[in-house]
Amino acid sequence: MTAGRAAVTADVSRLRTGGELLAAAGPLADLLLDTVHAGASLGFLESLDRTGAAEFWRDQASAVDSGLLAVWMARDAGGVTGTIGVRFGDKPNGRHRAEIVKLMVHRRARGQGLGRTLLTAAEEGATRRGARLLHLDTETGSPAERLYRAAGWERAGTIPDYAADPYGKLHPTTLYYKRTGAAGVGGGAEAIAASAGAGAAVGGTDPGAPRGGSGARTGAPYA
């Protein structure tokens, strides 16, 4: 937490259906624009506009309904202040793991502990779903790395020139992982398969990846 600033007071809740996500697409688009225009690497370039940002969020609705994606959103009296997602494995040998994606905190809400609150909500939600291994990637040298290390995440390695920032400059990314206290692979697979249902999409394309972007990176901003 930044010295001299009060702890954040925000309501963090999960968007449990695609309909709830669609209803929040506008405010989430504003959050995404604020994050990208602040220089975060989230798979988008500075040319992103509100129409494209809202379309990105609307495209996630089917993944939420299928159970492959869980999204949390933080709000205060001024509106949406942050979000985080968890993308669950959809292959038989990978349903024990999940990826933390799209951690964002609005510039007006940073330095107050909201990033850690969102990360904790995502970790606990993934663990309840049976995930016992979490992973993510973030821009090397970003403030987010301090957040992940403080939260007990382990550094796995770095990939050079992995993705461009909003202005087109290539940056390396650092991979992190964290083991949870969830049950074994069998229990986790059953829990995730049951919640995903028969309509879960299976394939090589990430339904959450932005068009022309670098996939579901967590990004740098946090608080």
Overall average pLDDT of the 104-120 stretch: 96
| Coil vs helix vs strand at 194 | helix
- Percent of the chain residues topping a pLDDT of 90: 74
Mean per-residue pLDDT, 142-163: 96
Position 209 pLDDT exceeds 90: no
User: What pLDDT score was predicted for residue 221?
Assistant: 53
Q: Give me the torsion for CA of 53, 158, 86, 121, rounded to 10°.
A: -110
SS3 category, 16? coil
The answer to whether 101 touches 85, Cβ cutoff 8 Å, is yes
Q: Structure pTM?
A: 0.81
Mean confidence (pLDDT) of the chain:
83
Q: How far apart are CA 100 and CA 221, in angstroms?
A: 14
Confidence of residue 181 (pLDDT cuts 50, 70, 90): confident
Average pLDDT value for residue range 145-161: 97
Pairing of strands 97-105, 133-139: parallel
Question: Which pair of structure tokens corresponds to residue 195?
Answer: 């919640």
36-64 confidence digits (pLDDT tens) = 999 997 999 999 999 999 999 999 999 99
Residues contacting residue 19 through CB under 8 Å, at least 6 positions apart: 61
Residue with token string 């001024």: 78
Sheet with 97-105, edge to edge strand ranges: 11-15, 69-76, 79-88, 97-105, 133-139, 170-179, 154-164
Q: Give the pLDDT confidence of 4-32 residue by residue, as tens digits.
A: 445 556 799 999 999 999 999 999 999 99
Give the model's pLDDT for residue 185. Answer: 41
Token pair for 219: 């990004």
Angstrom CA distances, 190 to 66, 96, 121, 197, stand at 15, 9, 22, 11
pLDDT at 7: 57
Alpha helices in 67-184 (DSSP H): 114-128, 144-150
